[in-house]
Amino acid sequence: MILIKTETGHRVLKDRSVRLTPRQRSAFILFDGRRSVNEVIESGMGIVPEDIDQLVELGLLEPIVSELPASSPARPDAPASHPTPVAATQPPSGRSSQQRYKDAYPIATQLTASLGLRGFRLNLAVEGTSTFEQLHELLPKIQSAVGPDKAAALERALVGD
């Protein structure tokens, strides 16, 4: 099963109104609409099924209703609060800004989370983004923190195909 963050989950991530254990927070960050529950549990971060169950019970995560091909512009895991006409944001590469954000966000969170306490503020900044433009503005800081080699996948997801 694949889980995604709910609107409540995005809000809680920003305002920290619900206290999460470090394992729960790690699990919450890893759920990006692509990873299955098993993949998150097997990530090596000590996450157990009970952590995930509690996140679902709190209304922070929910299952994807139906899975559409990644190329579909109307993905069910797209943030509902940011509807953007695909034609209006279609860059020359053929991917919308919204799709670029959705591709890059999990890479950015993984990179910044791997920095530990050293990258805590940067990780919070990434988690606080909700648009392609906001995430793109953080690219230089992420590149500086993790190095250009590790940040290459993020740059490809944001900038080029």
Closest-CA residue to 100 (of 159, 35, 39):
159
Q: Report the alpha-carbon angle 152-155-159, nearest 5.
A: 145
Of residues 139 and 3, the one with the higher pLDDT is 139
The amino acid at 84? T
Residue 87 has pLDDT above 60, yes or no: no
Residue 82: pLDDT band with limits 50, 70, 90: very low
The predicted-structure confidence for 17-76, as pLDDT tens digits, reads as follows 888 888 888 888 888 888 888 888 888 788 888 888 889 888 898 887 644 344 334 434
Distance CA(38)–CA(146), nearest Å, equals 27
Residue 81 has pLDDT above 70, yes or no: no
Distance CA(127)–CA(59), nearest Å, equals 18
At 65 the pLDDT is 61
